[in-house]
Amino acid sequence: MDSMTILFVLLGLMFLLLGSGIWIGLSLMAVAAIAIDVFAGRPAGASIATTIWSSSSSWMLTSLPMFVWMGDILFRTKLSESLFRGLAPLMGRLPGGLLHTNVMGCTLFGAVSGSSAATLSTVSKITVPELLKRNYPEPMVVGTMAGAATLGLMIPPSIIMIVYGVMTNESIAAVNIAGIIPGLVLAVMFMGYIAIRTTFMRGYRPHAEPSLSIIDRLRAVRHLLPVLALMTVVIGSMFSGIATATEAAAVGVAGAFGLAWMQGTLSWKSFSESLMSATLTSAMIAFILAAAASLSLAMGFLGLPEALATWVGSMELSPFGLLMGLFALYVVLGCFLDGISCVALTIAIIEPLVRQAGIDMIWFGIFVVLVVEMAQITPPVGFNLFVLQSMTGHDMFKIARWAFPQFVIMVAMVFLLIAVPELATWLPKQMIPVRG
């Protein structure tokens, strides 16, 4: 049996296991074991055990549980309330009014969270009820919230960028820093859509906000200072080279505890709940990464990456053609898998193709994160849709229709990133070399 036939057999088996409802980690590990035992003719047990240990004990992976814990601590604070109180006086006079608090709130919380799920859950619990109470149209409120929450994946620190960095052996700090400019550009595009859409929307009559003096608006900014300070310390320490990604994550956890203490939300219960939740999430991600590493090992034994690279090379695809094929692949996968699973499932196979095409791997990490962001708002497994469905009681597909303009904006951002790769590559090049 030739290499490409084996590859398609293994892929078919993988999707069969995934479709049957088996955990993705177990599915990947089962396929790896079959590939090593049956097709490579080697004992799978010892090889997989060694791979699980080496992948789980990677120093690069140590920042993951810390960033997860930081986001979980902040989720239990009054940060969403502070964000709304600080942003509302500043956003009220813009075209689209307080709808912009969805985007700016997600941008700021994403800069200290690392997770789209945490960003959505935290910001929406305040902004969505407040905007609906002020007579903002529900499709715009819910749709913009669904799209803006995906910024939690792009704005550093990002959990999925850590996963990508570990799997490709790229600098986690550099990948995170690369997401700053694309994330801010995407936020501006979301806000531009809000301004244009509400200008021409029929029946758009939100309640007028009280007029505030400049002094009152400046006073409101004080509510944003804690999150801005935490964001500056975490991202600034990585960018300047003062701290590694792991050290910056530890500082972020300490800052999150300080913020929780100042807001009076730090208790033994919140501490233990956040620790347990972060442990479960980190263990789940580590298990998926260990399974993906096992699959990478199996692929190496069989020589499949080289065979696939040769096969794709025979098609004589341009780098743009390859990117378009991968774009379509991730959009389809995103309809059925979460972002981390998409990355874990594919990177081992496509990394050689991307490197062979001469595509910058830091840039490609941002490309992947941007495309995977779309998975958060595509049915039937869009996590953001699930959260907003439970919050609003609306059908998931109705929420997906409301979020469709944000999906289109993200597609436009993909092509902008391809046309101007410096959006992702310029800032990491300015970094002071990060300490080991």
pLDDT digits (tens, 9 = 90+) for 103-129: 999 999 888 877 777 788 888 888 888
Give CA–CA dist 364/362, Å, rounded: 5
Residue type present at position 33? A
The enclosing H or E element of 375 equals none
Burial of 28 (0-12, 13-18, 19+ CB in 10 A): buried
SS3 readout for 273-332? HHHHHHHHHHHHHHHHHHHHHHHHHHHHHHCHHHHHHHHHHHCCCCHHHHHHHHHHHHHH
The residue with tokens 């709304």 is 84
Give CA–CA dist 347/292, Å, rounded: 9
Give CA–CA dist 337/108, Å, rounded: 26
Q: Please give the full DSSP string across 30-47, using - where no structure is assigned.
A: HHHHHIIIIIS-S-HHHH
pTM: 0.82
CB 149 within 8 A of CB 384: yes
Per-residue pLDDT, 305: 67
Give CA–CA dist 378/335, Å, rounded: 6
Give CA–CA dist 363/179, Å, rounded: 9
Given a cut of 70, the residues of the chain with pLDDT beneath it are 1, 60, 305, 308-309, 313, 336, 381, 432-436
Q: At what angle do helices 396-419 and 319-334 cross, to 10 degrees?
A: 160
404 CB-near residues (< 8 Å, 6+ apart): 143
Phi, psi of 114 (to 5 degrees): 90, 0
What is each CA distance from 168 to 94, 164, 198, 347, in whole angstroms? 42, 6, 42, 8
Give CA–CA dist 9/422, Å, rounded: 39
